[in-house]
Amino acid sequence: MTAVSVTDLHLRTAGVTRVEAVNAEVPAGSVVAIVGANGSGKSSLLDLMAGMTEPTGGLITLGGQPLTTYSPWELARQRAWLGQTTPGAGDYPVHEVIGWGRSKTNNDNASRPPVENLAAALGLSDLLDAPLRRLSGGERQRTHLARIWLQDAPVTFLDEPDASLDTQGRQLLSHLIDEKRARGHAIVIVTHDRGWAARAADQIWVMDHGVLTEQ
Beta bridge partners of 214: 206
pLDDT tens string 25-39: 999 999 999 999 999
pLDDT tens string 159-208: 998 877 778 778 878 888 998 999 999 999 999 989 888 988 999 999 99
43, 18 in Cβ contact below 8 A?
no
Backbone angles phi, psi at 62, to 5 degrees: -130, 120
Evaluate if pTM is beyond 0.75.
yes
Beta bridge partners of 93: 131
Domain count of the fold of the chain: 1
pLDDT tens string 40-74: 999 999 999 999 999 999 999 999 999 999 998 89
Distance of CA 15 to the CA centre of its chain: 28
For residue 52, the number of C-alpha atoms closer than 13 Å in the C-beta half-sphere is 17
Report the distance separating Cα 148 and Cα 80, nearest Å.
6
Domain that holds residue 187: 2-214
Order of all β-strands in the sheet with 16-27: 16-27, 2-13, 57-62, 65-66
Q: What is the CATH number of the domain that holds 199?
A: 3.40.50.300
